[in-house]
Amino acid sequence: MSGNGGKGRSIQGEYASIARELGRGAMVTVIRGANLGARMLVRVDGSTEGSLGSDELDRVGASQADELMWAERSEAVPVGDTLLFVDVVFPAPRLVIFGAIDFAAQLCTLARVSGWVPYVSDPRGFFARRDRFPDAEEVFVGWPDKTFAALGGIDRATSIAVLTHDPKLDDAALEIALRSEAAYVGAMGSHRMQAKRHERLVAKGITDEELARLAAPIGLDLGALTPEETALSIMSEIVALRRGRPGGRLSHASGRIHEVTGEAGEVAA
């Protein structure tokens, strides 16, 4: 039995509740060293419950939990002579698509079958209709600021694809997205269009660092021609970035094909 007694069961119960409700959080457990079996729950807002046995372990555990719950992987983390296991739960990642254009439907379908939750937003009600996007979780009719508010903001697990060719709509979405914690921000358009967009966003006060986050033209270079291929190009880039990969051909890659998680590198106390 854990040294936390009833408190440990309470922590485990809350963690199980977070998982059932498709929330985000982490349980950190000492699996080697002093205080074996000690647990600490780390919530998405950074608050914690329980202890790993020392203030320093609690600090390192909370920091690692915050990183891994957003990296969306569980991992063993050595801290000196102690080994912690950070077990994370998280909801499906969100893809917010601005522009109710034809191939946005194909992108919604591909996102859905890939385990993402897609949303579509467009202020033009004639195009932003639920019947046109059956795989979207929700279709918003309105400007980007209203959509982001309805979604509860932009977190580190949100990807944003801007597919319109209207500067008013593009810039309104990008001005918010590039200043957010979004994991990915991409936008349609030729290289010539990107240069004009760059000028407009700079005039709005977007910094070079913020602009460097923009994937534009959006997608990987697949030579896509059809709506389905274009959706595949976009989704491929989003997944590659999420996994920290360049998106090239596996036959040209070195190292492991699949990410293997296990003991992380030594964490300085």
DSSP H helices, the chain, are: 6-20, 55-71, 104-113, 144-150, 167-177, 191-203, 208-211, 227-242
Q: How confident is the model at residue 267 (pLDDT cuts 50, 70, 90)?
A: very low
pLDDT in tens, 67-110: 999 989 999 999 999 999 999 999 999 999 999 998 899 999 99
Structure token digits, residue 208:
């070079």
Q: Is the model's pLDDT at 257 over the cut of 70?
A: no
pLDDT in tens, 164-186: 888 899 999 999 999 999 999 99
Q: How confident is the model at residue 208 (pLDDT cuts 50, 70, 90)?
A: very high
Which three-class secondary structure state does DSSP give residue 76? Answer: strand
Between these two residues, 195 and 107, which has the higher pLDDT value? 107
User: pTM to 2 decimals?
Assistant: 0.82
pLDDT in tens, 116-147: 999 999 999 999 999 999 999 999 999 999 99
Measure the CA–CA gap between 261 and 38, rounded to whole angstroms: 22
Which three-class secondary structure state does DSSP give residue 266? Answer: coil
CB 93 within 8 A of CB 112: no
Q: Reading across the β-sheet that carries 94-98, which strands appear in turn?
A: 138-141, 117-122, 94-98, 158-162, 184-187, 214-215
Mean pLDDT for the chain overall: 88
Q: How far is CA 115 from CA 34, 93, 202, 228, in A?
A: 39, 8, 35, 17
Question: Mind listing the domains of the chain with CATH numbers?
Answer: 6-89 (no CATH), 94-242 (3.40.50.720)
